[in-house]
Amino acid sequence: MQLTVADIVGLSGVPTTASGCQRWLKNSGIWLSKTKNRFTFALSDLPPEVRRAVIERNITAAGLPLGTHDEAAHQDHAQATPKIRDVAERKAAIARDLMTLGAGVT
């Protein structure tokens, strides 16, 4: 999942300005690509606590319950490679979208 700087500005542990956030990403070793006039990066490249904040915000915005926290699963996910995390997070996003649409979807 690709994000922009604006998607994470002000989250817990992230600077509250776009320029500060951009510097924080670069200092954290997160590769930024420029698309038109926006910097984008992969959700899977973020530190675990920021990834979790983004995902929880998306779940809440979809009107879904957060569910129970499984620390062992989160630890396994955090230790996976960025590519594996990206695949898992894309699949979870699809599942959230389907849950948001409801039982009317076959």
CA distance 64 to 87: 21
What pLDDT, in 10s, does the model give residues 3-62? Answer: 999 999 989 889 999 999 999 999 999 989 988 888 899 888 899 889 889 988 888 887
Q: How much is the average pLDDT of 65-81?
A: 82
What pLDDT, in 10s, does the model give residues 84-105? Answer: 888 888 888 888 788 877 766 6
